[in-house]
Amino acid sequence: MPVDLSIIPPVIKRKKSPSLKRWLFFLFIMTVCSGLLVAWLWPTNKENQTMVFWIYAVGVPVLSWLIFFSLRWLIYLVSISLSDGWNHEREKDIADEIQRGQRYLALKGFCVRLPHIVTSGALTEQFMLSQGVVLPAVVNELTQSVDHKAYFSDKGQPVTCRIIKQIQYLLIDEEIQKELLKINNSAVVKVIIQVDSDSILTEDTVKAIDECVGPQVPPHAQIIFSSHFGLTDIDNWLDNEQAIDTLLILSVKIHAEIKNGEGEAAVALIFHSSPENLYLENCIAHIHRPEKFSPEITSDTTGNALLWGKTAIEEINLLWLAGINSEEATGMLFSGSIIDPQSNSLKDNFININNHSGDIGLVTPWLAIILAAGFNSYPSSHLVVSKCSQDASLWCLVVRPVKI
């Protein structure tokens, strides 16, 4: 279940203590009334200055007042004890939820294939340059207009063959193979194959992809085809880390026709979890729990993501926006819906990935995580805000590269 601190009931305020001033005034009224009543009812043939007279006139009201005041004070102490106990349990629940929210995954390896990138070396640095990575300009043969889109060089081949080819390239990557060979035979391994295509995957295509992936992964790995796998599943995994030890994601976008502003892409990521949530070393980056924005999109979501990432907004080095067009990104940044308006540093220190890669569909959040994780020249945290293609939901998470 996702961590939601807003469902925890509010603090119970302590009730005010009994007012001594009011109770002393009440004692005065009781004493006066008692004295008048005793004097009026006192027999005329008896002396009224005896001890019995004063016991009835003063002693009884004072004793009654002490009993009432003690009961009132006891009720106050009981209410304080109950409210303090409630608030203590509430703080304990909040601490437990925060501890659960601060679980993270280790990114052990990745591979990126973009058609307009010659080399994957220093990929993050290339995206950080304003003109480091740009979508190629292509002349539209029908309209004679200039489109900006990126597709792999094998565009003329069948889509099925192109998908299998890109998955093969991802699996034979040296870094991916190195991490796959380290996996223990007793580990629970899942392979998620995610294909974003305008062509329907037939049973034969799925079988061909399965036969391509099977020999390259551990024999006990579970291979799953899922176009809906996203940050929601990562969030759920962090609540049940024993379910998976190692997760390999193979995400590919291959279309027969690429529209203006779109791009093809293929990425592979290997995530590892630790049930004890120990500090995971020998990894590329720590991927902290993602937080889903509410429909109204407020900076509270960003605050929760920063809390899960154990960092503050001042410690964020870069803001990565993915799956968001330029107009929408500008509106979010300057309206204060993503970050607090006072955090001016991030307004000038953000990168819109879509401006460099184009719209890459289901691959979007995974490429954003890879780019944020790749800047490990010095320890700093990166904030990723990504829109998922599955349901157009907006997510926010902290990526902390591990210094090498």
Domain ranges of the chain: 11-101, 104-401
- What is the average per-residue pLDDT within 142-160? 86
- Residue 346: predicted pLDDT: 67
Percent of the chain's residues with pLDDT above 90: 30
pLDDT classification of 295: cutoffs 50, 70, 90: low
- Residue range 104-401, CATH number: 3.40.47.10
For the beta carbon of residue 222, count every other beta carbon within 10 angstroms.
Answer: 12
- Residue 393: predicted pLDDT: 83
pLDDT, greater one: 266 or 33:
266
**pLDDT by residue (tens digit) across 112-122?**
999 988 665 67
pLDDT classification of 83: cutoffs 50, 70, 90: confident
- Residue 247: predicted pLDDT: 95
- Residue 146: predicted pLDDT: 87
**pLDDT by residue (tens digit) across 243-264?**
889 999 999 999 998 888 899 9
- Residue 268: predicted pLDDT: 96
Taking the whole predicted model, whether its pTM rises above 0.85 is answered as: no
What b-and-e string marks burial along 70-98, b requiring 16 or more CB atoms within 10 Å of the CB? eeeeeeeeeeeeeeeeebeeeeeeeeeee
